Amino acid sequence: MNPILEVKHIHKQYANHTALSDVSLAIEPQKIFGLLGPNGAGKTSLIRIINQITGPDQGEVFFNGEKLAPRHVEMIGYLPEERGLYKKMSVGEQVMYLAQLKGLKKNDAKAKLKEWFRKFEIESWWDKKIEELSKGMQQKVQFIVTVLHEPKLLILDEPFSGFDPINAQLIKKEILELREKGATIIFSTHNMGSVEELCDNIALINKSQKLLDGSVKEIRKQYSSSIYTITFRGNLMGFTNAVWAAAEFLEKKSEDHVHTVTLKLLRQNKPNDLLQAVLNSGEILSFHEVIPSMNDIFISVVEQKQAANTQSSFTE
């Protein structure tokens, strides 16, 4: 499938620092794409370029196969990290204004807004001023503003920050629904744990460079570390003796003859081999693979990279 958004060899330089250096990405349609990286990595710079708020120094962006142009702004919805609305303006006027700026006709905008307000059960807010609303309420309004014009591409910067768990759940549900309807979503966040279960594909960015990208499943597989946690009741000594050659013990916890052990399988050993060994030592209560989180992967990739850099600087 053709990517809805293609970023090719983008460079962006500010006075004294490089925001992006040679970043390329391809984002598949109807997928949720996670743009992950610590603060200051260059995520917002990239998003601003996609939104045509700023332009790249070098490189090109393609939207739906066409070179990015002003008319594309109406097909993109953007929720910036720093949320903000006119404080003194009424909710209704404000959303109408922002919707019309996105190219919606007055009547269409009104009809769609009424629908969303009903959906979120906030119809009574229409005439309220923004400053009368709580932070969470303002976020809801802002989310509606972002998605109202039914963008093909939705860019959400730190989407769940500022929402309470219930509203975060509501927003998650809406985002998934939008994807079902055909939208492509980019999540940008430094809090990788908050979005990784939602993302189909991700890219990791650090210090203006893309470290890796691909589907979440494949990346996990690539970085899986064959670590398992097993909980059983029985003889710890017997278990240890049975597996000592096949695995490296990482953590042990015992309470009332119930033992929880985290270990890493060595060499060609398979999980089944491990289970075989435990079967003779007691009753298995649980067994699962410890899947590396995006956070873990990120840290290990950064470490690898740093190690490689120091290596190369030594050899120079």
Partner 1 sequence: MNKLFLIIQREYFSRVRKRSFLLMTILGPLLMAGVFIVPVWLALRDKTDHQILVLDHSGLFINQLPNSKTIKFTYGAESLQSAKAKLKDGPFDLIMEINGDPINGEKTTPLLYYKKQPGMSTEQYITNAMENILFDYRLQGDSIDVSKIDKARRPVEMLTIKVTENGKDEKTNTGTNMIVGFVCAFIIYFMIFLYGSQVMRGVIEEKTNRIVEVIFSSVKPFQLMLGKIIGIALVGLTQFILWIVLTITIQTVTMNVLFKDQIADTAKQNAQVEKVMKNDLSAGMDKMQKVKSPNEVIELINEFQNINITKLLLCFGFYFLFGYLLYAALFAGIGSAVDSEADTQQFILPVTVPLIASFVIAQTVATDPDSSMAQFFSIFPLTSPIVMMVRLPFDVPAWELLLSMVSLIIGFLFFTWLAGRIYRTGILLYGKKASWREIGKWLFYKP
182 sits near partner 1 (criterion: CB under 8 A):
no
- Report the nearest approach of partner 1 to the CB of residue 108 (Å): 14
Continuous H helices in the chain:
43-50, 91-101, 106-119, 135-147, 165-180, 216-222, 236-243, 271-279, 294-315
Binding partner 1 (rule: CB under 8 A), the pick from 43, 48, 210, 259 is: 48
304 sits near partner 1 (criterion: CB under 8 A):
no
> Which residue's CB is nearer to partner 1, number 140 or number 259?
140
User: Two tokens at 183?
Assistant: 């939208």
CB-side neighbour CA atoms (13 Å) of 43 = 27
69 sits near partner 1 (criterion: CB under 8 A):
no
User: Two tokens at 142?
Assistant: 């802002």
User: Two tokens at 191?
Assistant: 């809090």
55 sits near partner 1 (criterion: CB under 8 A):
yes
225 sits near partner 1 (criterion: CB under 8 A):
no
Tell me which residue of 212, 217, 225 sits closest to 199, measured CA to CA.
217
Binding partner 1 (rule: CB under 8 A), the pick from 51, 226, 262, 269 is: 51
76 sits near partner 1 (criterion: CB under 8 A):
yes
Place of tokens 């009574």: 124
Q: Which of residues 89-108 bind partner 1 (CB under 8 A)?
A: 89, 97-98, 100-103
Q: Give CA 266 to chain center in angstroms.
A: 32
112 sits near partner 1 (criterion: CB under 8 A):
no
136 sits near partner 1 (criterion: CB under 8 A):
no
84 sits near partner 1 (criterion: CB under 8 A):
yes
User: Two tokens at 2?
Assistant: 């053709």
Choose one: 45-53, 164-172, 179-187, 194-202; the region binding partner 1 (CB under 8 A).
45-53
Place of tokens 């794409």: 33
Say which DSSP state 29 is in.
T
Rule CB under 8 A: which residues touch partner 1?
15, 48, 51-55, 57, 70, 73-74, 76, 78, 80, 82-89, 97-98, 100-103, 142, 145
